[in-house]
A = this chain, B = another copy of it.
């Protein structure tokens, strides 16, 4: 008998479909909780929340909670409420992010803050965040509460850190990794880890799922940051070059800057300060990213973290759930191609 060796780079195009199929009936339950618990006597709250929540999105994080619970053969339903809580935290973060960034688009639609105004987006984000804690309290696990309240604080720290790094071309790759580890990977890690808590598995399983989620989250964000320079606005639901115009110093920029000559370094410096934001500037930036292999190398690093995510699943026996979790990693990376 030979073991299945899960490795990135399989011939066929990876898909999220196996994971979607695996959790479809349970995701309906989670969606019902989400719809039920975003209600309020104040009509603006479900209106605004619904714009974003009903407005698509892959429900990646709650899906991970469900798939990880399936990996552990958890037979209960506590994780439905908790998966909804995770999605509420994510939605609150998106609402506040759009206010912070002054975004025009989110998931291919006009961003909520542009339709409903920044004040409403801030306050409804606060409501969803509070509601997520109410859901956790109803579940009653202090361990889950600890994991998710910590993740929330880490996310906010990561967002503030990103804000202070914005327009700073001197941002190091290490700081960039810190930022995405906090703002993106912390919630991926928590979403996976809580499945082990509700399934009452030993800490070693908690940590394995935490590592799976964390590495997947980092890979996911690295790919997002690469795609931002190659997107056509339809696939991503946002325009190519958003990060460039916002002066977000992501890994592709850090690599091209650090490998560039004096003039090129000067260009990146000015571009991140917002002095080079025309279509021509973006085209030049893209040519520099190509010249220094910055997109490919960013994706190579994404594959590194993707492989770590897959290897973190090593302790768990083969199953359809495991295959789906592996393919989710492959899918996250293949999005860029």
| A contact residues vs B (CB 8 Å cutoff) | 40-45, 92-93, 96, 99-101, 118-120, 122-124, 126-127, 129-131, 133-134, 136-137, 140, 142, 145-146, 149-150, 152-153, 155-157, 159-161, 163-164
Are the CB atoms of B142 and A140 closer together than 8 Å? yes
Copies in the complex: 2
Once the chains are docked, how many angstroms separate the CA of A149 from the CA of B131? Answer: 7
Once the chains are docked, how many angstroms separate the CA of A3 from the CA of B174? Answer: 69
Are the CB atoms of B145 and A122 closer together than 8 Å? no
Are the CB atoms of A161 and B122 closer together than 8 Å? no
Closest to A145 in B: B137
Q: A142-B137, A150-B134 are in contact. Are A44 and B164 (CB under 8 A)?
A: yes
With A41-B157, A42-B160, A126-B156 given, can you name 11 additional A-B contacts, CB distance below 8 Å?
Answer: A44-B160, A45-B157, A92-B126, A99-B118, A118-B118, A123-B156, A124-B160, A127-B153, A131-B153, A137-B145, A140-B142
Are the CB atoms of B137 and A119 closer together than 8 Å? no
Are the CB atoms of A146 and B137 closer together than 8 Å? yes
Q: A44-B163, A45-B157, A119-B100 are in contact. Are A149 and B127 (CB under 8 A)?
A: no
Are the CB atoms of A149 and B137 closer together than 8 Å? yes
Once the chains are docked, how many angstroms separate the CA of A41 from the CA of B178? Answer: 11
A45 partner residues in chain B, CB cutoff 8 A: 157, 160
A42 partner residues in chain B, CB cutoff 8 A: 157, 160-161, 164
Q: A99-B119, A126-B96, A163-B123 are in contact. Are A133 and B157 (CB under 8 A)?
A: no
- Write 15 A-B pairs (CB below 8 A) sorted by A numbering: A41-B157, A42-B164, A44-B164, A45-B157, A96-B123, A96-B126, A100-B123, A118-B118, A123-B159, A126-B159, A127-B156, A129-B129, A133-B152, A136-B149, A137-B146
Once the chains are docked, how many angstroms separate the CA of A3 from the CA of B130? Answer: 43
